[in-house]
Amino acid sequence: MTVLHLADEGEAADLAAFLSRLLHYDRGAAVRLQAAGTALAVFGRPPSFEVLAIRAVRLAKPYENGLDVTLDVTVSAGELLESVDETAATAAVPGAVTGPSWAGVLPPRGGWRPAPGLPAPDALRAMVGAAVAEFRSRTQELAPDGRTRAELDRIGRDIWSRSVGDTHLPVRAVHAAQSLGFLRPGGASVEAAAEVGLFTSGAWLRLRTPYGSVAVRRTGIGALDLSVR
């Protein structure tokens, strides 16, 4: 079994926290792992948000497994979480699983350009809080016989599909970033806050923070110009 040596206990703890949050939204979650050199990228797709979440993990030494110098495999998020040893800063790569359709559709690796119009982190968090409050208020106003799944989904789409500021980024992407621990409040340095940015490449938008990224297609998952890798 391949064992990944993470940079330190903090990297192991952050990886475990990310996997735990994915499993909170989907107990059967799978993640796609890509490792090369001293970097490991972990991709997941929490179904509630319809976005791709990416957690970058630093490795203590360049990935190497026999003659293979790169790793690209889809595995069970639950099995990977169980293998994380925070004290030893290691994680064993579980056996490959048949990946969900999204695992073959990843954002491009390069060509990212800054996109203007993203509000400051505090404003983004306030936006999510207001959206959550609006959803609760509107659903509580429904008559008991009108509180159907279809109506709740309609209200959710109306709120979470709105654009953030003057960008094309949907509010649900910011909600995902906050729920997954990527958009952390308070205590963050000015430098960390400045690292929160929006980038574009082709049809993809990527909200990047020091703790992880959320990527979404402006035309929606399933369009013809997919990036399949």
Give residue-wise pLDDT tens across range 25-44.
999 999 999 998 899 999 99
Would you say the pTM of this structure is higher than 0.85?
Answer: yes
- In the chain, list all ranges with CATH 3.10.150: 3-104
Q: Spell out the residues 6+ positions from residue 33 whose beta carbon is closer than 8 angstroms to its own.
A: 40, 41, 42, 43, 71, 72, 73, 74, 75, 80, 93
Would you place residue 219 in the very low, low, confident or very high pLDDT band (cuts 50, 70, 90)?
Answer: low
Whole-number Å distance between alpha carbons of 96 and 93: 9
Q: What is the dihedral of CA 157, 107, 74, 54, to 10 degrees?
A: -70
**How confident is residue 188, by pLDDT bands cut at 50, 70 and 90?**
very low
Q: At what angle do helices 149-160 and 121-140 cross, to 10 degrees?
A: 150
CATH number of the domain at 3-104, out of 2.40.50, 3.40.190, 3.40.50, 3.10.150? 3.10.150
